[in-house]
């Protein structure tokens, strides 16, 4: 059984087709890269998977559950986590608070309004541990806007991990980070527990070929080809349309 599957997803905005009959499956433990030129519909596909967008037709399955009809937040509860290409954080709060909130929500205690947050010792400790793991412990009581950009990217991932996802969708996790640092960020991603299935969008082909076990190439809302890194590297279509074309790194 696959961790995540989409069946014939379609989505148009007016006459603009952004997802054209996309069927994709993510086996358990996958490290799957989604590549394609700008405007190919990569983020749109993630939004369709998470429920941020509703498909015109087609279905999304998480494990053996059809989640197409679920709200975004309900999908998270089922184990579908995501990060955003552009930092989508809580500017005035600290990483410790942000992560603690995410864990409280996962534990089902975030609706409690008569007991102090400080009593949620399990959630607070877990948040601190998670931030330690990802390398943010030293700055976890700074306001998010005061963090360096690279740290904010790490917080993006920490927040997604706090939901304990089975499937993690990473939308250009290294976007905006200098090349020298992005490898380290991907090491952190590669070090994620094996049972988490990861789908990531990335423009840097070195990173893609280093970390992905499978690659899907998306062009104009359509799956052009899917295969192992080796197959993709030698696919004539891909070479022509994508790798041989303009540099999109």
Which residues of the chain form contacts with other proteins (CB under 8 A)? 50, 52, 71-74, 76-77, 81-82, 84, 88-93, 96-98, 100-102, 104-106, 109-118, 120-121, 123-125, 127-128, 137-138, 140-142, 146, 159-160, 162-163
CB of residue 37 to other proteins, shortest distance in Å: 26
Q: How far apart are CA 214 and CA 30, in angstroms?
A: 8
CB of residue 59 to other proteins, shortest distance in Å: 21
Q: Which is nearer to other proteins, 6 or 98 (CB)?
A: 98
Q: How far apart are CA 127 and CA 122, in angstroms?
A: 9
CB neighbour list of residue 151: distance below 8 Å, 6 or more residues apart:
136, 139
Count CA within 13 A, CB hemisphere, residue 226: 13
Q: For strands 197-201 and 167-171, give the pairing.
A: parallel
Q: Which is nearer to other proteins, 122 or 240 (CB)?
A: 122
CB of residue 86 to other proteins, shortest distance in Å: 10
CB of residue 164 to other proteins, shortest distance in Å: 10
Look at residue 192 and give its three-state secondary structure: coil
| H or E segment and range at residue 3 | strand 2-13
Strand segments, DSSP code E, in 80-188 are 80-82, 167-171
CB of residue 70 to other proteins, shortest distance in Å: 11
Q: Which is nearer to other proteins, 57 or 145 (CB)?
A: 145
Q: Which is nearer to other proteins, 73 or 213 (CB)?
A: 73
């Amino acid at each position: 059984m696959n961790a995540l599957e989409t069946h014939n997803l379609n989505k148009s905005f007016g006459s603009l087709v952004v997802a054209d009959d996309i069927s994709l499956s993510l086996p358990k433990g996958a490290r799957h890269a989604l590549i394609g030129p700008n405007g190919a519909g990569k983020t749109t596909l993630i939004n369709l998977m998470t429920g941020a967008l509703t498909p015109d037709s087609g279905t999304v399955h998480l494990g053996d559950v059809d989640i197409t009809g679920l709200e975004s937040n309900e999908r998270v509860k089922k184990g579908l986590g995501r990060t955003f290409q552009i930092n989508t954080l809580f500017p005035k709060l600290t990483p410790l608070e942000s992560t603690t909130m995410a864990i409280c929500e996962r534990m089902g205690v975030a609706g409690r309004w008569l007991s102090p947050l400080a009593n949620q010792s399990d959630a607070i400790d877990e948040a601190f541990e998670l931030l330690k793991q990802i390398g943010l412990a030293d700055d976890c009581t700074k306001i998010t806007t005061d963090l360096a950009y690279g740290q904010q990217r790490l917080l993006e991932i920490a927040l997604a991990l706090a939901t304990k996802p089975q499937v993690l969708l990473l939308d250009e996790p290294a976007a905006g980070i200098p090349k020298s640092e992005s490898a380290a960020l991907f090491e952190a991603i590669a070090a994620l527990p094996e049972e988490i299935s990861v789908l990531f969008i990335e423009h840097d082909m070195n990173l893609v070929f280093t970390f992905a076990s499978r690659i899907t190439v998306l062009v104009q809302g359509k799956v052009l080809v899917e295969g192992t890194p080796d197959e993709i590297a030698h696919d004539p279509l891909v070479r022509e349309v994508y790798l041989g074309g303009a540099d999109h790194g």
